[in-house]
Structure 1
Amino acid sequence: MFTGAILMRYVCILMVLMWFAPAVPRAATEYRVAESGDNSAPGNKVEPFHAIQRAVNQAQPEDKIWVLVGRYAEYVYIAERRAGPTLAQAGDLHLQSNGRRCHQGSAQKRIRI
């Protein structure tokens, strides 16, 4: 049977090992946005969000946001603390700012915000 001193020693060793053990990284989440989506949905492949902003608000650094083909008339605000989500779409991409086109072309590659 363990005495109090031996048990305390094992607890201390275990705490030190846990302190220096690398944290298990969180797996990146992929969110989907579609014109026909619903902002109360989980934002996955089967039940996408309706608004890009909803996906941006939900995303953490290293998460991916897939924007499906459609028209999205909204302002998207990405705070500095949210920097890191990736927006991706599988078709032609047209981004406009104040009515002026600021990006046009294929979005086969991801757009890092």
Structure 2
Amino acid sequence: MLRIRGTVGAMPVDLTVELDDSDWAKLGAALGAQSQSEQSPAASLTPTAKPQNQDDAVWQVAQDLLRKAGKLSGPDLLEQLEGLTGSAAAGKRLLVRLRHSSQVKVVSSGDTPLYSWVE
């Protein structure tokens, strides 16, 4: 499930999209085709393996989000993860999971940590 929150003009938007395995595959294929025409294959948003369940799918998207950005401050990353999951608690859990991932480097710079994707 993806939750999209924000505004369109002055109107608030809160949209929840539920996808099954075939929908995730179609979305990944569409994003992969789009990103390959616009970017290098290394920057592709397509997950490297098919998600086993909903939590794995969200985890893949969270990793892809940081991978694509390269570097994000802790507050910015948390805001995007909260938007992805639809809750502050789930966003914080993903942030902690990213912090402990071997592919993420966290550097404390003043008041906010800086999260970087390491290839």
* TM-score > 0.5, shorter chain as reference: no
* Greater Rg by CA: 1
TM-score range, shorter chain: under 0.3
Higher-helix-fraction structure: 2
Q: Looking at both structures, which has the greater relative contact order when contacts are Cα pairs under 8 Å and sequence separation is at least 6?
A: 2
Q: What's the TM-score, normalizing by structure 2?
A: 0.25
Q: What's the TM-score, normalizing by structure 1?
A: 0.26
